[in-house]
Structure 1
Amino acid sequence: MDVLFALFLLMQSLMQSDQDTAGSTQIGMIRSMLADSLRPDGAAGENAQGGGQAGQPEDGRGQTADPQPDAPKIKGIYVTAYSAGGARMRELLDLVDRTELNAMVIDIKDDRGYITYKTDNPELAKYESSQSYIKDIGKLMETLREHDVYPIARIVVFKDSVLAKKRPDLSFLNPDGSIWQNRNKDHFVNPYMKEVWEYNVAVAEEAARLGFKEIQFDYVRFPEGFETRADKLKYAKTEESRVDVVAGFVEYARERLRPLGVRVSVDIFGYAASVPAAEGIGQDFVKISSHVDVICPMVYPSHYSTGWFGQKDPDKAPYATVKGAMEDTHKKLAELGDAKPIIRPWIQDFTAKWLGAGHYIPYGVKEVEAQIRALADTGVDEFLLWNAGNKYTADVDYTLVDKAVREKDAEEAVSGA
């Protein structure tokens, strides 16, 4: 794997240099070498283990083809490992069965860093991070298939207290040698470390072989406010910028997962589409988007502060806030042209009481539907609902996104006639 990683880093350096003909040729050769080296035996035909076809051939425009071309327009919900492995799963399956929802984003590596089911994979077992929150992962996958649920594996990458405590050398250390933690007492691992990349991609590869059709990476970033403490902490690093390191991980992960025929998606702060680059945490909206099949901006109105999109209290203006966020997203991705990924935002299905009296409103049917309308009115026809406790609002009309998009297409067709 050291050789593969060296090839990958060489490709990165070539891409950052002037794109002359010789450089482009070298990049093409290295991409081919990486793909051939990572392709498992017998992967030339259809991949029976992964979620779809083996590999991702280019389409007629030279762009990477969708590895899940038969996937529906996704309308999904977040599901914790506790819910997926417990009694609440019956309620969530019933919700999907009786509504237009069709997907679940399930924790496979959670916010603390635990792999949420028992694995005998020696590459993963050595980190001693496997738990039994999902007692029978095979049965879960079978149940999802029976209910025609599009399965997405959520993998929290660089926020990982489990790995940081077990391997402080892969984390950030205070001057006294203790492991740094944020004010929520979360630990992060170092995106500069090759071993961290490989560990998380190994988790993703196993999820793909289990039958997940999409791998969704979350916390693909440095800790918030990292730029204010970067010079004080002790950690390994190279001359690469934080932005390039984070984008590099995403590109590397996609190359590794390519033979398994799964989509790759990344969660990203919604505001990253509205600023040149979030250099402190290493998130550049366009750079990350150029290496994924699906980009998932988190556009929860509660997460925008006073003044965003002309709103004194964005949480109290769900339609205007989400509409503004989507308009910025479209502008940001315009430079990618036909290579831009599917836009599938996370929207809010929770009440943000922590904002304090006068700065939030209770979220219910009206507020969730307002966000869906905002998506539809800006040409976005997929979404994911977030509620940390997996208690979703009843009686929401999820078809609003389809209706509005169809109506808008019809209006444009008439006006263009």
Structure 2
Amino acid sequence: MNIILAFIILASSGFGLTGTDQREDTLSTIMQSSITSAVIQSKQQVPGKPGVKQNTTEIDPQADAPKVKGVYVTAYSAGGSRMDQLINLIDDTELNAMVIDIKDDEGYITYKTDNPKLLELGDSQPFIKDIHQLMDRLEKHDIYPIARVVVFKDTILAKKNPELSFRKSDGTVWKNGGGDSFVNPYEREVWEYNLEIAKEAAKLGFKEIQFDYVRFPEGFEKRADSLKYTKTEQSRVDVVADFVQYAREELAPMGIRVSVDIFGYAASVPAAEGIGQDFVKISKNVDVISPMVYPSHYSAGWYGSQTPDKAPYQVIKGSMEDTHKKLDELGEKKPIIRPWIQDFTASWLGSGNYTKYGKFEIEEQIRALKDTNVDEYLLWNASNRYTEGVDH
């Protein structure tokens, strides 16, 4: 989509995101922040954070990995009876991977850990009762295991260590409208904590670490000057990109891939300075980038559709074309593009604005990916109820 047209649409309608997906924040606020930042952002580049090595990780640590076609699995599902259905789904289709919550959206480590470093800062909520048994089961069924680690959205760490979070003038930890707290990307201790979780996941047998919520809170630029937190002269964009680079350099020697989830719109607009996400800078430092391009998340006018949720092929094709354009400048450093696509019905959009998602809608998204030379993808359904009979 022409970027000027995108600005006009966004300024008049917002990004139109609502719903029950646990990753979904008030995205329209972030979109407006992106537009404002694009207009006023400084051209000054700040040197990397002291102690962070420059790009040295050039080789894919999992060059023999399969072309991933996977599903999202909550820790509750992974440790419960639903896992039987999910494994059957993988066995009976061309799907071959699972993205499993190892550190969830609240900040809980989802299995029993005896690691003193992790227990000092965080907390374990063992939804997965026997992590070793789970890993053995995945290996037996030849399922490529990806550990999802939610990074800077972490209510548990913020409560236990307010100094690592964002505090209000009275000293209490700031919360967003949903009651969630974030921790400060400027704090190196937060980096090390999340990397310790990632390294433990790697030792357990996960082949890839997928970092989510690699950003500041939504609308942060509106409250950045009123909250108390540690910061440096680095821009928010640079400190987030530096974390990703550091994570990759730490995990690559272990043979582990690094992937990052990012809002799908990021491929179509300038950097989101407010939340510290620059699509290209993050992508340059990962093995895999996973834009969340659910058609339901786009408002009227995107990619020529007045009802994007009803146009799965059109939206996915447009978003992938934008993604390629954005990342082609990276040349050999262009990561694998593995988007999150929609396997849920967005009924919250209201009558006339959504369609029931089933076999046809999912296959249309997959067809659009193939037509834009993208052969990996992940299916998202927050309740882990995936459509059967799909030609993957």
Secondary structure of the corresponding residue to residue 194 of structure 2:
helix
Q: How does 1:67-216 map to 2 (within 5 A)?
A: 67-216=61-210
Q: Which structure would you say has the larger Rg?
A: 1
Deviations 1:170-219 (A, max 9, x none): 11112222211111111111111111110001000000011100000000
Identity %: 70
1:231 to 225, 242, 266: 225
Aligned match of 2:374 in 376, 380, 385? Answer: 380
Provide, for residues 308-332 of structure 1, a one-character-per-residue CA deviation record: whole Å limited to 9, x for no partner: 2122221111111111100000000
The residue number in structure 1 matching 2:240 is 246
**What residue identity is the alignment partner of 2:270?**
P
- With normalisation by structure 1, the TM-score equals 0.81
Give secondary structure in 1 for the equivalent of 2:375. coil
Q: Say whether 1:335 aligns with 2:336.
A: no
Give the match for residue 364 of structure 2.
370
CA distance in 2, matches of 1:255, 1:183: 35
Alpha-carbon distance in 2 for matches of 1:134, 1:178: 32
CA distance, structure 2, for counterparts of residue 296 and residue 277 of structure 1: 16
The reply on whether 1:357 has 2:351 as its aligned counterpart is: yes
Q: Distance in 2 between matches of 1:194 and 1:245?
A: 10
Of residues 283-292 and 219-228 in structure 1, the stretch that sits farther from structure 2 once superposed is: 219-228
The whole-number CA distance in structure 1 between the counterparts of 2:92 and 2:233 is 53
**TM-fit CA distance, 1:306:** 2.0
Secondary structure in structure 1 of the residue aligned to 2:76 = helix
Q: Is the 8 A contact 2:267 2:323 kept in 1?
A: yes
Measure the CA separation in 2 of the matches of 1:66 and 1:256.
Answer: 14
The residue number in structure 1 matching 2:19 is: none
Distance 1:343 1:128 in 2: 32
Root-mean-square deviation (Å): 1.7
Letter in 2 for 1:367: E
Specify the SS of the correspondent of 1:126: helix
Pairs aligned (count): 347
Moved over 6 A (4+): none
Task: Name structure 1 gaps, 5 residues minimum.
Answer: 1-11, 17-25, 36-55, 57-63, 399-417
Q: Does residue 1:315 correspond to 2:313, yes or no?
A: no
- Counterpart-to-counterpart distance in 2, 1:94 and 1:335: 41
Match of 1:283 among 251, 263, 277: 277
For 1:385, the aligned partner's letter is: L
What is the SS of the residue equivalent to 2:271? coil
Distance across 1 between alignment mates of 2:121 and 2:223: 28
| More relative contact order, 1 or 2 (CA 8 Å, 6+ apart) | 2
Counterpart in the other structure of 1:49: none
- In 2, Cα distance between the equivalents of 1:379 and 1:99? 21
Superposition TM-score, scaled by structure 2 size: 0.86
Deviations 1:364-416 (A, max 9, x none): 11111111111111010000000000000011100xxxxxxxxxxxxxxxxxx
